Chain A
Amino acid sequence: QVQLVQSGGEVKKPGASVKVSCKASRYTFTSYGISWVRQAPGQGLEWLGSISGYNGKTKYAQQIQGRVTMTADTSTTTASLELRSLRSDDTAVYYCARDQDASGTYSNVNYFDYWGQGTLVTVSS
């Protein structure tokens, strides 16, 4: 069974950075992408961006572009999300999810079929 295991929860001060990792296993990492989705407390789902496991190409949501970097290490089959200049409204559970797009260019034939367990990032002074 495909597994995505995320790193543990983080508490950060405003202005700091956070890095969340997502270890993938039991599938061919380079044949899929990884998307990141967050969910603020009591709120809905927000797509943050995606990275190709094949060529490392990224796409970021406009609202966090400039503050985010997504990476993928094929040797360890681990994807990571780094978010900088944290604000209180970045407090959320961050999920990684396997997506069907390995090309790195946007494909509309896509869905997120496996998800990590989620990582709570709390931004508070």
Chain B
Amino acid sequence: DIQMTQSPSSLSASVGDRVSITCRASQSINTYLNWYQQEPGKAPKLLIYAASNLLSGVPSRFSGSGSGADFTLTISSLQPEDFATYYCQQTYSSPPTFGGGTRLE
């Protein structure tokens, strides 16, 4: 199975900050990388698919980049509703695997 490693595991930030979260795969996964946001007690929500494609309706302050094994999720200006946990997911090969999560606080 492909291992996904996120860093940092937690991140302290303030409203208005620019933040970046990194996801590294144990092998090259091309751009088969998705990002999800999960608020406490709620189901995950898809933000970005195929590394850099913003899902319709997701604010443009979210962006994704990367290819191969290294990927980044960037939030350009943190809003109060963005304080949540973020997960990356690879779908390059089965089983699709998730990173361990980054808690933004």
Hey, which chain A residues are within 8 Å of B93, CB to CB? 106, 108
Hey, which chain A residues are within 8 Å of B89, CB to CB? 45, 111-112
Of B11-19, B20-28, B69-77, B97-105, the segment with at least 4 beta carbons within 8 Å of chain A is: B97-105
Give the A-B pair count, Cβ closer than 8 A.
Answer: 60
B95 with A108: CB separation less than 8 A: no
Number of interface residues of A (CB under 8 A): 22
Number of interface residues of B (CB under 8 A): 25
Q: State whether the Cβ of B44 lies closer than 8 Å to any Cβ in chain A.
A: yes
B95 with A118: CB separation less than 8 A: no
Query: Which secondary structure dominates where chain A touches chain B?
Result: loop
In A68-96, the 8 Å CB interface with B consists of: 95
Query: Which secondary structure dominates where chain B touches chain A?
Result: loop
Q: State whether the Cβ of B46 lies closer than 8 Å to any Cβ in chain A.
A: yes
Q: Mark A109-121, 1 if CB is under 8 A from B, else 0.
A: 1111101111000
Can you show 27 pairs from A to B with CB atoms below 8 A apart? A44-B87, A44-B99, A45-B44, A45-B101, A47-B96, A47-B97, A59-B94, A97-B44, A106-B93, A106-B94, A108-B32, A108-B91, A108-B92, A108-B93, A109-B32, A110-B96, A111-B46, A111-B49, A111-B89, A111-B91, A112-B34, A112-B44, A112-B46, A113-B46, A113-B49, A113-B55, A118-B42
